[in-house]
Structures are given as C-alpha cells and as structure tokens.
Structure 1
Amino acid sequence: MEHALVIGGTRFIGRHLVEELRDHDYEVTLFNRGNHENPFADADGVDRVQGDRTDDGDLVDAAAVDPDAVFDCVAYYPRDVRQATTVFDDVDAYVYISSGSAYEREDLPKREASTPIHSCTAEQAVSDADETYGPRKAEGDRIVFEAAEDGVNAMSVRPPIVYGPHDYTERLDYWIDRVHRFDRIVVPGDGTNVWHRVYVEDVASGMRVVAEEGDPGEAYNVGDQRMVTLRGMVELIDKSLAAVDSDHDPGVEIVTAGPRELAAADIAMDDFILYRDPPHMLSTEKVARLGWESTPLSTAMERSVADHLDSDRTGREHGPDRADEERVLGVLDTL
C-alpha cells in the first residue's frame, strides 16, 4: 500500500495516524471539512480534499484520489460506515475506528470473537446521546462485517479510552493537573478501579498494522498491553512529572474515598473522570498476533505529561472542584 486516505486527520487520533503513515512511507490525503487547523498544511507528501463525509457527493469526490487504503477516524453513525464501505468498496483496506464501548457484556477481558456487542435500534442509530455511542459503534462494526461478506476489504479497530498528546477531550489532563498542582489528592473508591486505556500512537500503529496484515470482516482490540489501576495511573503521572519537570517533587499522597466520604461534598464516585464500575478490560492478543505491540507505559505517560505541560489544557471540568476535594480531605482527616 502506498497511498492512504484519512477521513479526519487533523486533531487527535487522526493526527497521530497521519504521522504513523508518513513514517512508513505512505503518501497521505486528508478528507475533512477544514473546521480545525491542519498541522500538515506545509508537510511534504500530505494533500487535502475538503468536504463533508456525510455528503454522498463529497465522499465520492474524495474517492477520486484513488487511495490504496482508507482510514475512517470520524464515523460516528452507522450511516457513515455504510456510505464509506459502499464508496470505497474496491480499496485494499478500509479500517473503521470502532470502540471498546461496542461490547455489551462485562467480560474480563472482552474478546472480539466471544463477547457480544450491543444491538442498535433505528432511533439509537441517529441519536447523538452519550448512551447510544456504544450501540452506534457496534452497528458500524456489523456493517463492516456485512461489507466484508460482499467482498469489501473492511476491518475495524476497537480502542478503549485513548490518551496522549493533542487529546482535546482533556480526560487525562484532569489527573495530570491535579498531581502537578497538589501534593495530596482524592482518588474515588479504593484505587483499584480498572478502565483499560490505550496510548494514541498505539491506536495509530494498530490501524496501520490491521490495514496491512488484518483480515477483512474482523475486529481488533487495541489497548495498553500492561494495564494499571486508577491509583497506578496517578502514581505513573507523578513519576512522569518528575522525569520531565525538574521542579516537580514526586511523592503525591493518594487519599482514597468511598461514597460516604465523598457525600460530605456532594460528590459521586463517577464524578471523577476515568473511574468506571464495573472494570473494563480488552484482550489484545488478536492484534498482537499481527505483529503489533504497545508503547511502554512509562514512555507513553512521559510524552503525555510533557504535552500537557506545553498546552493550556487543564481538564478541571472533568472532576470535582478543588474546594470540594479539600472538604472530603478534611472529613477523612477527622476519621
């Protein structure tokens, strides 16, 4: 494969995907509306076609660049996937970003071949509500599988929570900001909560590897091959801050708090971003058999922390106010 069309490509996962493809000697064409700054505007080997992927005519126009592989980073509705697998039915690979949220059953771990995925009603298929995200992604997977049965070289990649440089969601930024600014922070529960995460560069490399080595009609989980608890993630952030910021003194004190203690400040457990009950874990054995592997956690977190420090992101809207957190700390100090 020599020429890749990336639907999206300027913000988070797509931005890293373009860099991954360039590093592996692909010529790349971006297809997007141009609503966000293009970091590759002056880059050699990267062209751009402006258009709306929900417009059938624009998508057909994008196909005129004759790509070998198509990477779909912004297919949020089943109709998006159906359009793309119809328009790009003759490419060597069409790779759709699905999600670990597509899984319906809380298996540990969730496996592509055995864990059921959500059903999706007609109403859910067109809804933008958060609770329909998993069903919509699952329906996109089914469309990929159906397209493959009709001879389209279509595959999907299922990441859990994605983190890393240029993450506009600011989910990890909340915790980096807390550890950077305070020497004592609250972690909900007992700190053993597990919500599988994946470093963004590994999603990008996973998409490329699946395009090159994957089988049509298959889904592939991508996630950190070594997972950490919520407490472990905070400790890793602390160590990473010390590694990239000479002014940071490691040794943050993690104070765990359950529902009763949090209620003193009218805080719920899931008010803290990246807390999830029950735990969420994906098996990555299938994609690893294609030759893919994840970045060491220390490297991934140091890069994420360095990017946070260079940005103006704080993520503070993703968790309790510091004043409320201090109220909880005060309650715990009296116990």
Structure 2
Amino acid sequence: MTTRRDLLKLGALGPMLPSLAFARDARPVGKASKSLDILILGGTGFTGPFQVNYALARGHKVTLFNRGKRPSPEWPGHVEQLFGDRNTGDLDALKGRRWDVCIDNPTTLPFWVRDAGKVLAGKVAHYLFISTISVYADGSKRGIDEGDALAVYQGKDAMGETQASLRADLERLYGPLKALSEAEARRQFGERVTIVRPGFIVGPRDETDRFTYWPHRVAQGGEMLVPGDGADPVQFIDGRDLGEWMIRLAEAGTPGTFNALGPAKPTTMDAVLRACEKATGAKPTYTHVAPELLEARQADLPIWVSRKGSLAGYGAVSNTRALRAGLTFRPLETTITDLLAWFRSQPAERRAKLRAGLTREQESDLLKAWRARSA
C-alpha cells in the first residue's frame, strides 16, 4: 500500500528517456497573445519537455538551464541551452541575462532557490516553483487546502542540507525542505511568485511505474487484487496537463499557491480500474482485499491511499483554487491509452519488471491469504 515514504517521493523521479513522441499534443494549440522569454531550470525530466513543447507551440522563446546530464530531445523549435550545476553554486551562465518568466522544476533544497535568487532576482518578472503536496503537516485531513499548516524543519541548518543528506533521511526532510524552498522563493522573488503543489504525476514518460501498474495489470486480465472496497478516493495529474498549465499560468502572470491534482471531480479506485478496462478492452475479475491485511503484509499497491488511514488526506486534496486558475484535465482514458503506448514502446528489458506494484506471485500469495482469512 502507499506509504508515507511513497508520498514524500512525489517529485523524486528517475532518469527520463529523450523521446518526445507523447509531448506533442494532437489537439491544435493557438498562439499566445504575447511572446515570452521563458527560462526553465531543469527542463529535460518528466514535465519539463511538456512545458517546452507547449511553450514553443504557443510562440514563446525558451532557455533551459541544467547540468546537461540527460540526453536532450530534438525539440520542434529553437531552444537555447545553458549549463551549470546548482549543487556547486555554478550559475555563471545565468548572470547578466533577463527573462520574463523562470520556471523552477527540480528544486528540493532551499539553497538552490537562494542561489538562484542571488542571480535572478530583479532579472525575471515572474517565478514559478513546482513544489509538492508533501509540504503539508497533516496528511490525515481530508480536503487539504493551500492554507493548511506546513511541515516544519527540525534539523540544524536547512541551507546546509544537500542531496546526499536528503536521500539519507527522505521521510523526515523532503516535505519540510520543500516548504522552506517555497518560503525562500517568496523571500527572493517577492509577490510575483507562483507555487504549484502536485501530487502523483502520471502519464507517458513516467519512469516510476506507480500509476502504470494499474492499467498494465488490468490488461493482463484474470483475477486481480484490488485494495479496500474500491471506494477510496484517488488523485493524480497527467504530466502534460501539469506542464501545459504552468505555461498558461506564466502567460497570465498568475501569482499564488495551488494544489495541482485531478481529476476535476472526485474519483475512486474502482472508477480508475473501469477506465483502465475501457482503455485496454480487458475484463479482469476483481477481488477486494481489506486494508488491514495489505498493511500487515506491507503490500506495494501504489497510488491507492485508504480513506480510513493516517494518510487519508492525500487522496482528497482540494483542487478548487487550481480549477479556478484554469487547470484542465484530458480524459483519464486518454492518459491511460497514451501511457500504455509509451510503456510498450520501451525496450523489452525495461518492460520486463515494473518498478512499483505487486508481482504476480506476490498478488497470488495475498489472494490466498485473503481467502484463508475469509473462510
């Protein structure tokens, strides 16, 4: 089942493949009323390429700043590439430049924002920061909204934390350091700051396989274990919807803080599985298993959060403010279909073992244990 550690890793994604086959939307994209000079910190991870492609389609100029460690996609237009390393404070390539907008995708450490502010404050008109719902202190509260209390840092020196120290104590540090990064963004860039707090980001290019597990398993058919009674709420956002909305927020110059989760209306675990059926044409037989057994066996069932558990709030976060600010969602069946098409396009060794979810052997053992308990 989804654990506190899983939720704290909402933004901790692995390396991405350079393919942009699913970054370009088949729907027509109109030009923006004004062309912007957009600086994207990162830009080659999960959502970054969606931002770049949508920005180019809208007629904006795009500059990327990163370490150049990931292979760069072949963009459908000109993209300026600057190199540096925020871990070592190497931001020289940004000095003496101005942009209308800066989108900060990868930051998990407050000193990254502080150092960016030293170079960019007064040089960008609008700063957008991707945070996480893991910043909230109380994960049990249903209807978490942007005004709720944030996690408090308990360490000695937040600005001294590094990626190594974060990885060593992810559960304790991730949410508080993201919250402090938000505060540092406001300190450095003032009122023209937008904080976006997504939950699980899903869809094509998702290397974590957390959401992929469900349509992949549905497509296999047969008896399938479903956690709980199927009525637990589930929230996530397609990376394309997130990336494109970030560009629209930049165009509108919208400041403020927003929870970025979908769908627009509440959905449940069973509803997600029905959408998987429609997308795959498969018809598994579902067996619902009580959360108590799953918890006792430490079952890896990603995305799902029991509505009766200590993390229930993470399945029912308020997205009202984001909807009012123009966040939209493509149909869930589209996300599922495109995700499976992307996943099936990966090399055989990549597809051989999912990085999240149950193996068929683990699922079979749990189903046997459930039958024995219910006998």
For the residues of structure 2 that align with 1:104 and 1:291, how far apart are their CA atoms? Answer: 27
Which of 275, 295, 298 in structure 2 is aligned with 1:268? 298
Q: 1:238 to 1:124 in 2, by over 3 A?
A: farther
For the residues of structure 2 that align with 1:104 and 1:59, how far apart are their CA atoms? Answer: 33
Residues 288-327 of structure 1 correspond to what in structure 2 (within 5 A)? 288-312=323-347, 313-314=350-351, 316-327=354-365
Secondary structure, aligned partner of 1:327: helix
- Equivalent in the alignment of 1:77: 109
Residues 5-44 of structure 1 correspond to what in structure 2 (within 5 A)? 5-40=39-74, 43-44=76-77
2:214 paired with 1:175: yes
CA RMSD of aligned residues (A): 2.4
Which of 289, 302, 306 in structure 2 is aligned with 1:257? 289
TM-score by structure 2 length? 0.77
Residue correspondences, number: 319
For the residues of structure 2 that align with 1:117 and 1:213, how far apart are their CA atoms? Answer: 27
Which of 323, 329, 332 in structure 1 is aligned with 2:367? 329
Note the alpha carbon deviations across 1:207-235, whole angstroms, 9 max, x for none: 1232233544x211111123422232222
Q: Say whether the 8 Å CA contact 1:5–1:71 is kept in structure 2.
A: yes
- Equivalent in the alignment of 2:241: 202
For the residues of structure 1 that align with 2:106 and 2:283, how far apart are their CA atoms? Answer: 40
Q: 1:107 to 1:206 in 2, by over 3 A?
A: farther
Residues 1-335 of structure 1 correspond to what in structure 2 (within 5 A)? 1-40=35-74, 43-56=76-89, 58-90=90-122, 91-105=124-138, 106-112=140-146, 114-123=147-156, 125=158, 126=161, 127-128=165-166, 129-131=169-171, 132-148=173-189, 151=190, 153-216=192-255, 218-224=256-262, 225-242=264-281, 250-259=282-291, 261-262=293-294, 267-269=297-299, 271-276=300-305, 277=309, 278-279=311-312, 280=314, 281-312=316-347, 313-314=350-351, 316-333=354-371, 335=375
Which runs of at least 4 in structure 1 moved beyond 6 Å after TM superposition?
none
For the residues of structure 1 that align with 2:277 and 2:357, how far apart are their CA atoms? Answer: 18
For the residues of structure 2 that align with 1:297 and 1:71, how far apart are their CA atoms? Answer: 26
For the residues of structure 1 that align with 2:92 and 2:137, how far apart are their CA atoms? Answer: 34
Residue 75 of structure 1 aligns with an amino acid whose one-letter code is T
Q: Say whether the 8 Å CA contact 2:210–2:355 is kept in structure 1.
A: no
Q: Say whether the 8 Å CA contact 1:7–1:53 is kept in structure 2.
A: no
Q: 1:308 to 1:31 in 2, by over 3 A?
A: same
Greater shift after overlay, 98-107 or 323-332? 323-332
Q: Residue 294 of structure 1: CA displacement?
A: 2.1
Secondary structure, aligned partner of 1:122: coil
For the residues of structure 2 that align with 1:72 and 1:39, how far apart are their CA atoms? Answer: 19
Q: Say whether the 8 Å CA contact 2:218–2:283 is kept in structure 1.
A: no
Q: Give the percent of matched residue pairs that are identical in Structure 1 and Structure 2.
A: 27
Unaligned runs of 5+ in 1: 243-249
TM-score by structure 1 length? 0.86
Secondary structure, aligned partner of 1:68: strand
For the residues of structure 1 that align with 2:156 and 2:268, how far apart are their CA atoms? Answer: 36
Q: Say whether the 8 Å CA contact 2:134–2:174 is kept in structure 1.
A: yes
Note the alpha carbon deviations across 1:244-265, whole angstroms, 9 max, x for none: xxxxxx21222111256558xx
Unaligned runs of 5+ in 2: 1-34
